[in-house]
Amino acid sequence: MGFGVIIIGDEILSGRRADKHLPKIIELLAARGLSLEWAEYIGDDPARITATLARTFASGDFVFSTGGIGATPDDHTRRCAAEALGVPLELHPEAAELIRARIVEMANGAAFDLQAPENVHRLNMGTFPKGAAIIPNSYNRIPGFSIGNHHFVPGFPVMAWPMIEWVLDTAYGHLHHAQPFIERSVLVFGLPESRITPLMVAIEQDFPGVRAFSLPSVGDPSRGEIYARSHIDLGVKGDPETANAAFDVLREGVRALGGEMVETQSGAAE
């Protein structure tokens, strides 16, 4: 099982809004010694959302879903989650109380009617798949919800990110830094990827659990003089002891191939 994220909204796919969730979720996970295994973007298409959720519920992965849990016609996520699980939607009693408390706050001392159509409609935001638990929202009380290993939060970063942190610390605290992990790399100059591919294959075969990676670049002067030349960001990641041993072999292999290296962590050139 791994962590995944589903980012929902036509506004993301159309470019009307730029997604900020993906880099932030990666950051929140990394701070806890965790990593993101996959991410998907979906528009406001109920059939596609339902099919995606049916697949991810079946996977057993830990999944964060952002967007689509409001109460406007383009908010489909709550209903789609229920359909994917084959359970009905129902008003969560604690969510209902939180929403009513928010209505009182918004009235700010003025007269209000909890039975007014707009206030009754607001309760839809507390209608979750049967069996769901709430995710507290420190920004405006309107909760998200968790069911199974899936956690549904609003699309607004100011609400979503604290809610995701709450889930990570409440539900997955036992996983924090449970598996030691490092990533080490060098910038390689003067070698094509085709020359270093056999070295990467050999490292993954000789060091089980270690993953080798290469990220070629034509050069990016905006990142500084070192990065201005075309290069390959070549490295390994995995358990610290095994990955460190694999990294030593990687460096020796690049040296044997005649490549020039700059280690990105230390800046030492070879």
User: Rounded CA gap, 153 and 84, in Å?
Assistant: 17
- Enumerate domains of the chain plus CATH numbers: 3-175 (3.40.980.10), 182-263 (3.30.70.360)
Q: Are 73 and 54 in contact (CB under 8 A)?
A: no
pTM: 0.84
Q: In this structure, are residues 140 and 159 in contact, taking their beta carbons and an 8 Å threshold?
A: yes
211 CB-near residues (< 8 Å, 6+ apart): 204, 236, 237, 238
How far apart, in whole angstroms, are the C-alpha atoms of residue 65 and residue 151?
Answer: 6
**Which pLDDT tens digit goes with each residue over 8-38?**
999 999 999 999 999 999 999 999 999 999 9
Among candidate residues 92, 89, 4, the one with its CA nearest the CA of residue 42 = 4
Q: In this predicted model, what pLDDT tens digit does every residue of 100-147 receive, in sequence order? A: 999 998 888 888 788 888 888 999 999 999 999 999 999 999 999 999
What are the start-end ranges of the H helices in the chain? Answer: 10-14, 21-30, 46-59, 77-85, 93-107, 117-122, 157-171, 193-206, 225-228, 240-256
Give pLDDT tens digits for 235-261.
Answer: 999 999 999 999 999 999 999 999 999
* Average pLDDT, integer, range 185-194: 94
In whole angstroms, how far apart are CA 160 and each of 97, 136, 178, 238, 261? 20, 10, 25, 30, 41
Q: At what angle do helices 77-85 and 46-59 cross, to 10 degrees?
A: 50
The DSSP output letter for 262 is E
143, two tokens = 């909760």
